[in-house]
């Protein structure tokens, strides 16, 4: 009898413990939310950035082309790339915005001289992150990721000592020539189709446009790269022009300032080390003004037929005449 009573008491205690455990579990589920009851992790919501409301009225343009952000499908594609830059690439975005402040004025003014819209600087920023050493798997290099195969009548100097594609001014002139060539050949293209041709090939885009007459870039199915690149560069322009709204309100860096020493013929290689000593700077800072120079070679190569731009030298602002005089005195240039 005592044994039966003891068993009953133990069973009752276990029931009470089980009930308490179940009650605790229910409380935990309530606190964690309904997803916890299905064994799913309680996900933390991810911030999402919306386009500024005034832009959705459809008054926004890129390179003179109206971007119909009043269309939900277009706004969604641009907004997706906006969030990609702000969320997934935020650290890189900070660097891009800083380089836009430093190198943007030089590239934009060169674009204007070549009769291209200044907004094209955002294409360079997306393609290379405005890094002269940017390189693609297909052989593209520099500010515009110009390919290793020279086409459309374009040529550039490329060697172990110097590469035109790494120089911001020369590479922008080369890219401008290619873009102008595309635009001239295809009079019905707006700049968005021309940009798509630049990154994905003229033949591919011409075929798409011929099959879809009268439709805009936003209406056709473009190659994958263009589908991403074009909304992304538009998103970058929106972010750059609305930095405070997107919490990217870092003080802008100062634009690049320099003197140009040109119209000189180098008779021997001029080391960056010597230049840096003449102006009281570092070899690295001199290279940043002249990134066409190969970093390993570390010198401005002497002039000859293979290197027509070898004497194109930038030095810190205010030192142009001093450097030219020292180049002459040290026997680096031919009178």
Instruction: Please check whether residues 94 and 128 belong to one and the same domain.
Output: yes
Instruction: Please check whether residues 130 and 214 belong to one and the same domain.
Output: yes
Give the CA diameter of the chain: 123
C-alpha 97/C-alpha 104 separation (Å) is: 9
Question: CA quadruple 141, 143, 147, 153: dihedral positive or negative?
Answer: negative
C-alpha 171/C-alpha 248 separation (Å) is: 29
Instruction: Please check whether residues 8 and 148 belong to one and the same domain.
Output: no
Instruction: Please check whether residues 275 and 222 belong to one and the same domain.
Output: no
Q: What is the pLDDT of residue 45?
A: 62
207 within a domain of the structure (yes/no)? yes
C-alpha 253/C-alpha 245 separation (Å) is: 19
Provide the domain limits for residue 206: 53-246
C-alpha 290/C-alpha 162 separation (Å) is: 10
Residue length, the chain? 335
Residue 149 has pLDDT above 50, yes or no: no
Instruction: Please check whether residues 90 and 145 belong to one and the same domain.
Output: yes
43 within a domain of the structure (yes/no)? no
- Mean pLDDT, range 28-53, rounded to an integer: 57
Residue 4 has pLDDT above 80, yes or no: no
Instruction: Please check whether residues 102 and 241 belong to one and the same domain.
Output: yes
Residue 252 has pLDDT above 80, yes or no: no
How many domains is the chain built from? 3
265 within a domain of the structure (yes/no)? yes
State both tokens at 135: 């390189």
Residue 133 has pLDDT above 60, yes or no: yes
Mean of pLDDT over the chain: 85
CATH code where residue 117 lies: 1.10.530.10
- Mean pLDDT, range 273-281, rounded to an integer: 97
Instruction: Please check whether residues 114 and 262 belong to one and the same domain.
Output: no
Residue 42 has pLDDT above 50, yes or no: no
Count Cα atoms within 13 angstroms, Cβ side, for 288: 15
99 within a domain of the structure (yes/no)? yes
Instruction: Please check whether residues 187 and 71 belong to one and the same domain.
Output: yes
C-alpha 47/C-alpha 52 separation (Å) is: 15
State both tokens at 43: 């996900």
Residue 68 has pLDDT above 80, yes or no: yes
Work out the pLDDT band at 38, boundaries 50, 70, 90: very low
Q: Give the closest residue to 123 by CA, choosing from 107, 101, 141.
A: 107
141 within a domain of the structure (yes/no)? yes
C-alpha 323/C-alpha 321 separation (Å) is: 5
Instruction: Please check whether residues 193 and 267 belong to one and the same domain.
Output: no
Instruction: Please check whether residues 312 and 278 belong to one and the same domain.
Output: yes
Domain boundary among 213, 246, 279: 246
320 within a domain of the structure (yes/no)? yes
List all residues 6 or more positions away from 282 whose beta carbon is below 8 Å from its beta carbon.
276
């911001």: which residue's tokens? 168
Instruction: Please check whether residues 240 and 269 belong to one and the same domain.
Output: no
335 within a domain of the structure (yes/no)? no
pTM: 0.82
Q: What is the pLDDT of residue 65?
A: 96
137 within a domain of the structure (yes/no)? yes
Residue 249 has pLDDT above 70, yes or no: yes
């Amino acid at each position: 009898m005592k044994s039966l009573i003891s068993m009953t008491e133990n069973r009752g205690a276990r029931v009470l413990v089980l009930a308490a455990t179940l009650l605790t579990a229910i409380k935990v589920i309530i606190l964690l939310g309904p997803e916890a009851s299905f064994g799913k992790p309680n996900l933390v919501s991810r911030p999402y950035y919306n386009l500024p409301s005034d832009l959705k009225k459809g008054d926004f343009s890129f390179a003179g082309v109206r971007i119909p952000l009043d269309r939900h499908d277009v706004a969604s594609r641009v907004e997706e790339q906006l969030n990609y830059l702000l969320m997934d690439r935020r650290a890189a975005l900070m660097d891009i915005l800083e380089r836009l402040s430093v190198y943007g004025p030089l590239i934009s003014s060169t674009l204007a001289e070549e009769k291209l819209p200044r907004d094209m600087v955002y294409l360079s920023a997306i393609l290379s992150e405005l890094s002269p050493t940017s390189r693609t798997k297909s052989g593209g290099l520099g500010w515009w990721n110009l390919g290793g195969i020279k086409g459309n009548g374009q040529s550039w100097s490329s060697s172990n000592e110097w590469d035109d594609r790494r120089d911001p001014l020369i590479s922008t002139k080369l890219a401008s020539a290619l873009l102008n060539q595309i635009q001239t050949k295809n009079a019905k293209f707006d700049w968005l189709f021309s940009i798509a041709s630049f990154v994905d090939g003229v033949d591919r885009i011409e075929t798409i446009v011929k099959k879809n007459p009268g439709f805009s870039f936003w209406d056709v199915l473009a190659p994958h790269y263009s589908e991403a690149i074009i909304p992304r560069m538009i998103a970058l322009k929106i972010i750059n022009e609305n930095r405070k709204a997107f919490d990217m309100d870092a003080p802008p860096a100062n634009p690049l300032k320099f003197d140009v020493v040109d119209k000189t013929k180098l008779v021997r290689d001029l080391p960056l080390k010597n230049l840096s000593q003449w102006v009281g700077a570092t070899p690295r800072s001199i290279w940043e003004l002249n990134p066409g120079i190969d970093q390993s070679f570390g010198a401005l190569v002497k002039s000859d037929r293979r290197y027509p731009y070898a004497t194109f030298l930038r030095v810190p602002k205010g030192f142009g005449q001093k450097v030219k005089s020292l180049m002459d005195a040290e026997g680096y240039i031919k009178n």
